[in-house]
């Protein structure tokens, strides 16, 4: 078991300890809630069980099997095949940005790639970055790191967002040493 898998297993064990409920009971609570939207279920778990955003989010994905990784496994898809689905049609031109970022990030060390519907999440003990097309012509790199120095390329996200900052990229040449240093710092902080 990798350190990432151990961290996820620890997160699930901690959720059970915090709530006093088994995973089966938590899944039943979610499925019998009558709620269908991910955000509504997450909010219900936060309010009813006092869980944080990340724990609630993980529970919703686990119970509904809506995380990209589970969906990919159920379809029998590899991560590369999921990427092929994300970067199709007009979004295909954005894949070189993804590839350049992933090539550089791979040099940082061990982390987990969690494919989602339209992007991939990169995690150590917690998520440190998100990569994917925001539109047909714009790629977004989400960075989870607090109190970064001001830079016109860093777009501060509202509290409660999946990432603290977003960097919008139009082509792979914009993946420079500064952008990579931000991701590297987020990687170190997530470990």
Pairing of the two strands 112-115 and 120-123: antiparallel
Examine the pLDDT at 86 and tell me if it is beyond 50: yes
The answer to whether the CB of 12 falls within 8 A of the CB of 23 is yes
Residue 71 lies in a domain: no
- The pLDDT tens digits of the residues spanning 136-148 come to 999 999 999 998 8
- The pLDDT tens digits of the residues spanning 108-130 come to 999 888 777 788 889 888 889 99
With pLDDT > 70 as the criterion, what percentage of the chain qualifies?
A: 89
Residue 74 lies in a domain: no
Residue 72 lies in a domain: no
The answer to whether the CB of 165 falls within 8 A of the CB of 157 is yes
- The pLDDT tens digits of the residues spanning 39-75 come to 899 899 999 999 888 888 888 878 887 665 555 556 6
pTM of the predicted structure, to 2 decimals: 0.67
Residue 118 lies in a domain: yes
Residue 105 lies in a domain: yes
Please tell me whether residues 23 and 100 are part of one structural domain: no
């Amino acid at each position: 078991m990798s350190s990432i898998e151990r961290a996820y297993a620890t997160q699930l064990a901690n959720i059970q300890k915090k709530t006093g409920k088994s995973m089966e009971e938590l899944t039943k609570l979610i499925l019998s809630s009558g709620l269908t939207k991910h955000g509504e279920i997450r909010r219900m778990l936060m309010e009813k069980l006092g869980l944080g955003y990340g724990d609630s989010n993980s529970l919703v994905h686990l119970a509904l099997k809506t995380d990209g990784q589970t969906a990919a496994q159920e379809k029998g898809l590899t991560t590369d095949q999921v990427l092929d689905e994300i970067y199709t049609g007009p979004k295909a031109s954005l894949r070189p940005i993804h590839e350049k970022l992933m090539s550089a990030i791979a040099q940082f060390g061990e982390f987990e790639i969690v494919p989602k519907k339209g992007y991939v999440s990169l995690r150590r003990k917690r998520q440190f970055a998100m990569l994917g097309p925001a539109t047909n012509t714009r790629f977004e790199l989400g960075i989870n790191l607090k109190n970064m120095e001001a830079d016109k390329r860093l777009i501060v996200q509202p509290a409660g967002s999946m990432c603290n900052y977003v960097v919008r990229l139009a082509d792979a040449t914009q993946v420079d040493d500064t952008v990579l240093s931000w991701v590297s710092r987020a990687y170190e902080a997530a470990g």
